[in-house]
Structure 1
Amino acid sequence: MKVAVVLADGCEEVEALTPIDVFRRMNIQADMVGLTHQDVMGAHQIALHCDKVVDDSLLEYDCVIFPGGMGGAHALRDNDQLMELMQKRQANGQWNAAMCAAPIAFARYGLLDGHDYTCFPGIDQETKKVAPTGHFKEDITVVDPKGHIITSRGPATAMAYAFCIADTLGLDTKEIKHQMLYDFLKKNI
């Protein structure tokens, strides 16, 4: 089992690092993959160093994960190499995940067509223009098994997103949710 988080300059750092943190705590390979270079500057000026740069090896991951952040999401959206790889992944029935503003990339790639998804409030207006047959939902996380797509809303939902991805991939998250106090948070917020 292995996952990749694809990072571009302007990414939302909490959305990028939360899945990496959760999967690495579970002893699952979680690679930080730079869109065009290994050193990425987040939206809040947090410097991130990636393990590698986007290449055909994205086809080998159990899930490829996109964080939001408008600058990063637009860079992911506009990259034709990444679009081709993500379209191949969906055609192969592999899981892909995007949160916050990043579903705009999935919309351009055609991955949302006919599928359920969520995103940051207001971004749905942009995704509807590009992917009018997609079905926007206001849930914290949305899993569309037919399209092999997992989506989420924004920075505060990053942990729910990471656990949703892990659960969808068939991992047992009960212990890690307890260790990270996620079960306590869900009960008390």
Structure 2
Amino acid sequence: MVRTAVIFANGCEEIEGLSIVDILRRLNIECDMIGLDSLDITGGHNIRFKCDKLISNDLLNYDMVALPGGMGGTQLLASNIDLQNIMKKRFANKKWNAAMCAAPLAFSKFGLLKQANYTCYPGFEKNISRENPQATFVDDLTVIDNKNKLITSRGPATAMSFAYAIAQTLQCKTAEIESNMLYTYLLKKSRD
């Protein structure tokens, strides 16, 4: 069975993290909500929720680990040594990892973006390129770097695109749920 995890820290962008959990669970993909240092999380917009577990070395066994953005949450994720060590091991073991909005800044600090194709919240690529001059910023909703097993995305409005990319990378068909959730309708209307 495919296992996924979303890592939450206080100050996270709620829509980004919870959209991933919601969509993956709708697709019957196991998705654990993992608290950085507490099960009780208060997001950047004062939405409170409870995680299933705390970070541990068990994260090494997940097929995909995703980090939502939000500057407050990202700063906590990026400064957590335990998470940094786990993510470095996951990367070395060629496990899939995903981050969106501000969270690619944590990936940058962890050394995961050294030669990767990535995207992030507009403007943050300047900080990332200073730390990772070999990394290539791509101006797209969601970027999948198969070589480095990384998925990145832009910000709150791209949360669904990000979640579907995660599911598709895990070999899950998403067309029906994209239609049922009116995602395909939204994309069609935005092109009209």
The aligned residue for residue 103 of structure 2 is 102
Q: TM-score, normalised by structure 2?
A: 0.97
**Alignment of 1:120 onto 2:127:** no
Deviation at 1:178, TM superposition (A): 1.2
- What corresponds to 1:165 in structure 2? 166
Q: Where does residue 130 of structure 1 map in the other structure?
A: 131
Cα offset for 1:129?
1.9
CA distance in 1, matches of 2:134, 2:162: 23
Deviation at 1:14, TM superposition (A): 0.2
Amino acid at match of 1:102: A
The sequence identity of aligned pairs, in percent, is 49
Structure 1 residues 172-181 or 41-50, which shifts more? 172-181
Q: Does residue 91 of the first structure (1) align with residue 92 of the second (2)?
A: yes
Amino acid at match of 2:7: V
Distance in 2 between the 1:126 and 1:33 partners?
27
Distance 1:54 1:48 in 2: 16
Q: Which runs of 4 or more aligned residues in structure 1 lie more than 3 Å from their structure 2 counterparts after TM superposition?
A: none
**Contact 1:32/1:52, CA 8 A, preserved across alignment:** yes
Q: TM-score, normalised by structure 1?
A: 0.98
Instruction: Give CA-to-partner distance per residue, 1:109-144, whole Å, 9 cap, x none.
Output: 110011100000111111112222111111100010
CA distance in 2, matches of 1:42, 1:131: 29
Q: Which runs of 5 or more residues in structure 2 are unaligned? A: none
Cα distance in 1 for residues equivalent to 2:48 and 2:133: 36
Gaps of 5+ in 1: none
Counterpart CA distance in 2 for 1:25 and 1:115 is 30
For the pair 1:182 / 2:179, whether they are aligned, the reply is no
Number of residue pairs matched by the alignment: 189
Deviation at 1:76, TM superposition (A): 0.6
Other-structure match for 1:144: 145
Q: CA RMSD in A?
A: 0.7
- Offset of 1:183 from its aligned partner? 1.1
